[in-house]
A and B are shown apart, each in its own frame.
Chain A
Amino acid sequence: MSDAVAVHGGAEANDTPLTPENWGKLGMWLFLAGDAMSFGCLIVGYGILRHASNKWPVPAQVLGINLTAFMTFLLIVSSVWMVLSLAAIQDGDKARFKKFLGLTILGGAMFLGCQAYEWTHLLEHRLPELNIFFSTDLFATTFFILTGFHGLHVTGGVIYNTCVLLAVNRGRYGAKHVEIAGLYWHFVDLVWILIFTFVYLL
């Protein structure tokens, strides 16, 4: 209790993220703001191209949204596992931490598996059936650029989380590092929520 009061008092006296112990978190937030701008430009560009095109298929009919809804579910669940793993390491429970971060990584990997299946299915069957070609169609191009850019972020997140898990295991990383990795992972989830709505549902 006295510790909590001391920490709380310190935070009030020093209400800035620019203290050395917060540099990591501040740096991640600055990176995410820049990354959000990259996604923002891609989504705005997608909207303008779609608006300017005189024919644009209904995405849900071409892409199918059942698998993607499941992928959204996977990322949301894996985000929850990430916060639970952070809560566990903050409590000092390493076994629970490893379980939940392991599940987070598994959720991300399953998402990538679903996306690989979805892309293969679209490229080999669905799009040729509808005479939509990746190289000449704006609908297909914007779709693959947006989901591909996001998929690369998920790949990066799975690798990042795996490194964090190994580093905590060796005692080199603590709760602070897990929190920063969590910020990145939740950002990837947040962007997918927007992509799911703008690219698949709208």
Chain B
Amino acid sequence: MSFRLYLLQRLTAALMVPLIAAHIVTIIYATRHGLSAAEILSRTRGSLIWASFYGLFVLLAATHGAIGLRVVAGEWTSLRGRSLDALMLAAGAILTLLGARAVYAVVAA
């Protein structure tokens, strides 16, 4: 792993810490107040704040996870160099797409 990727993975981890905390607080709030799926969707749909919050979360998680997957693949498989980069980019793209689809589902009006 290059030092730049290492720093990027640490940076994404650090940025995710407050987002994870907010996400957990949101879950606890929703379950404690007995919010139904419809009630949750009524608050998230059309909300730029929730779209930005979870959109950023998805980008950070996809970047962080893809770099980590590259490290694991480099240590546990025979993949090297560009193959590892291709795996990382593909994993990052798939995670971003899946995450973006989920965000779209809860914020699209």
Q: Do chains A and B interact in one complex?
A: no
B residues at A contact (CB < 8 Å): none
